[in-house]
């Protein structure tokens, strides 16, 4: 393999991984915090994406559209959390799986009804659709943009979670929710705002990732397995783990498509399977489960 193709795989894998990270990080933290399996997380990404696609289709500035899309996804997430998801925390895994499965179903049906069954595109501005010269080859500016956004978001989240009071509370609640409550933290409120933030991030990922994961009504069911993989391979509740897992999934999947296309469609599942047999709690599990 030449150096050029190696670097291409690296960049493509990173771009894909960053999208997975942005969408999945909210799921990681909410699953770690409340141990609730949310198969509807993809639906929030999808809603954010659809809002942006429609607004940019009408000629709105991409960044403004993203702001609106994220707000919409976040509000919807908060609403769902406060109304339907809250009674779920005390129930078993299967009840959680099924209810959120039901939510995903409803979102599929609603979007098909309103916007039709076909994928709809997000209109990216010209400076993102072209090619950039990066020394050894020209490379799509869009993918570089994804990598950039992913890195910026990862840095912001790292600061938020590792360096602020909110982050300290969040980590404490993930590690031991009962103890956090006992020392007077309002864990439910913490969870609601985290859920809103996570859904808004998913909306961002859904919007800017539309070039790689096309927006269509079945989006939420189609990719939810990928998002879950990132969460569980990274370790539930582990922000750093989900970053590592998302990049790993992106790289393995991309490398597989380039190098062994026959095996590629199921390569990622084989890797995940072996990895979870080796480390059932994920790569970097938080203290509560390690």
Partner 1 sequence: MNDPVNSNFENRGPAMANMNISMSPKSLGHLVPWAVAIAFFFLFPERLGQWTEILIWVLFTISMDLALGYAGIVTLGHAAFFGIGAYTAGLMSIHVTGDPIIGMVAATVLAGIAGLITGMLILHTTGVTLLMLTLAIAAMLENWANRATKITGGDDGLQGMELGNLFGIFEFNFFGVTAFWYALGVLFIWFLIAYRIVRSPFGRSIDGIRQNANRMRAIGTPVWWRLVVMYGVSAAMAGSAGALTSYKTEFVGLTVLQLLTSGIVAVMLILGGQKTIYGAFFGAAIYIMVRDTAAETYPFLSEAIIGIMLILVVLFLEDGVMSVPKILRRRPKKAAE
Q: Which one of 31, 70, 146, 173 is in contact with partner 1 (CB under 8 A)?
A: 31
Q: Is 260 in the site for partner 1 (CB under 8 A)?
A: no
**Range in contact with partner 1 (rule: CB under 8 A) among 69-77, 138-146, 196-204, 272-280:** 272-280
- The H or E element spanning position 132 is strand 131-133
Nearer to partner 1, 187 or 208 (CB): 187
Give the whole-angstrom CA distance, residue 224 versus residue 227.
5
Give the contact letters, 45-64, x = binds to partner 1 (CB under 8 A), - = no: --------------------
Q: Which one of 14, 47, 66, 88 is in contact with partner 1 (CB under 8 A)?
A: 88
Q: Is 35 in the site for partner 1 (CB under 8 A)?
A: yes
Q: Is 216 in the site for partner 1 (CB under 8 A)?
A: no
Q: Is 79 in the site for partner 1 (CB under 8 A)?
A: no
Nearest approach, Cβ of residue 194 and partner 1 (Å): 18
Nearer to partner 1, 6 or 273 (CB): 273
Contact 41, 202 (CB under 8 A): yes
According to CB under 8 A, which residues from 110 to 149 bind partner 1? 110, 112-113
Give the contact letters, 176-215, x = binds to partner 1 (CB under 8 A), - = no: ----------------------------------------
Contact 203, 70 (CB under 8 A): yes
Q: Is 168 in the site for partner 1 (CB under 8 A)?
A: no
Nearer to partner 1, 11 or 43 (CB): 43
Please give the size of the binding site for partner 1, defined by CB under 8 A.
Answer: 43
Nearest approach, Cβ of residue 236 and partner 1 (Å): 6
Nearest approach, Cβ of residue 261 and partner 1 (Å): 9
| Packed helices 165-175 and 141-163: angle between N→C axes, nearest 10 degrees | 80
Residues of this chain that bind partner 1 (CB under 8 A): 31, 35, 37, 84, 87-88, 91-95, 97-99, 101-106, 108-110, 112-113, 221, 225, 228-229, 232, 236, 262, 265-266, 269-270, 272-273, 276-277, 280-282
């Amino acid at each position: 393999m030449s150096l050029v193709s190696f670097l291409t795989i690296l960049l493509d894998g990173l771009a894909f991984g960053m999208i997975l990270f942005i969408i999945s990080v909210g799921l990681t933290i909410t699953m770690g915090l409340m141990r609730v399996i949310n198969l509807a997380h993809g639906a929030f990404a999808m809603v954010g994406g659809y809002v942006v696609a429609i607004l940019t289709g009408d000629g709105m500035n991409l960044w403004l559209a993203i702001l609106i899309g994220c707000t919409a996804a976040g509000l919807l997430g908060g609403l769902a959390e406060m109304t339907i998801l809250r009674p779920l925390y005390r129930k078993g895994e299967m009840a959680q799986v099924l209810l959120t499965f039901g939510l995903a179903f409803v979102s599929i049906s609603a979007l098909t009804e309103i916007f039709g069954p076909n994928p709809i595109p997000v209109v990216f501005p010209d400076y993102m659709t072209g090619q950039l010269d990066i020394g050894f080859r020209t490379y799509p500016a869009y993918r570089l943009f994804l990598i950039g956004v992913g890195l910026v978001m990862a840095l912001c989240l790292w600061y938020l979670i590792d360096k602020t009071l909110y982050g300290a509370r969040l980590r404490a609640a993930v590690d031991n929710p009962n103890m956090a409550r006992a020392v007077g933290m309002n864990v439910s409120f913490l969870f609601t705002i985290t859920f809103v933030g996570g859904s808004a991030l998913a909306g961002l990922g859904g919007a800017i990732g539309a070039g790689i994961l096309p927006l269509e009504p079945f989006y939420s069911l189609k990719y939810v397995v990928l998002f879950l993989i990132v969460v569980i391979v990274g370790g539930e509740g582990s922000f750093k783990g989900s970053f590592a897992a998302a990049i790993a999934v992106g790289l393995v999947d991309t490398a597989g498509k380039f190098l062994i296309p026959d095996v590629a469609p199921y390569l990622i599942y084989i890797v995940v399977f072996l990895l979870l047999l080796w480390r059932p709690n994920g790569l970097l599990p938080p203290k509560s489960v390690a």
